[in-house]
Amino acid sequence: MRQPPQTRFLAWCAALAAAALCGCGGSSPAASPPPPVLPAAAVAYLPSTARPLTVHDLVHESTVPGLEAGLARWGYVTGAQRLFQGQSKTLQVVVSRTLEFRSASGEAAYVQFVHRQATAVFGAQPTQEPLVAGPRRGWTFTLAPCACHMASPARVGVASAGRLVSWLEVNGPTASAGVLARLLAKAP
């Protein structure tokens, strides 16, 4: 049985309204546009890929108990990551992350959590030093190198300002606190 044109039009409008109300994914963190990360030109000699970071991504890669509940409590909204990786005589791996929270207190709580749970976050006890990068405050973590021949330690900076957390990891023959600071200055 064929529907009159007006009925089909009303059904189509109802379907569009329902799709708009559900937001095609709801109000989950992935529904917000991801924040910017370190631009590809910042480490142009390494190929890079960027992707959004969901709560599931952050929780899945960590063994830290309570991280998922913490992210909800701190108001995690969305995140993004750019991974630079390749063979080089300078840096071989750079990971730039930007995590967005609903409030400055949420992002500060996340940075403090990483500081206090550093061994669980990084899988081994790193050395830690306070980090000040412009308006951002946080911590620099130096991770023990793997047992590989000529391995160099990774350095990770986790700092926040406003509602954003910048997470920057560098590894390679020239990875140093100075290199980390220079790249962090280019990060959003």
Give me the pLDDT at residue 148, please.
Answer: 63
Question: Which segments of the chain have a pLDDT < 50?
Answer: 1-30
Give me the pLDDT at residue 55, please.
Answer: 94
CATH of the domain at 81: 3.40.1000
Give me the pLDDT at residue 32, please.
Answer: 77
Give me the pLDDT at residue 149, please.
Answer: 53
Give me the pLDDT at residue 151, please.
Answer: 66
Give me the pLDDT at residue 152, please.
Answer: 77
State whether 109 and 86 are in the same domain: yes
State whether 18 and 96 are in the same domain: no
Task: Kindly list the strands in the beta sheet with 127-133, ordered across the sheet, starting from the edge strand earlier in the chain.
Answer: 48-53, 76-85, 93-101, 164-171, 155-161, 136-142, 127-133
What's the angle, vertex CA 91, arms to CA 157 and CA 174, rounded to 5? 80
For 7, the domain range is 1-28
Give me the pLDDT at residue 166, please.
Answer: 96
Cβ atoms within 10 Å of 117's Cβ, excluding its own: 17
* pLDDT tens per residue across span 31-41: 678 999 999 99
Give me the pLDDT at residue 62, please.
Answer: 83
* pLDDT tens per residue across span 12-57: 333 333 333 333 344 444 467 899 999 999 999 999 999 999 999 9
State whether 12 and 91 are in the same domain: no
State whether 7 and 92 are in the same domain: no
State whether 110 and 173 are in the same domain: yes
Between the alpha carbon of residue 95 and those of residues 38, 84, 156, the distances in Å are: 9, 6, 9
State whether 2 and 38 are in the same domain: no
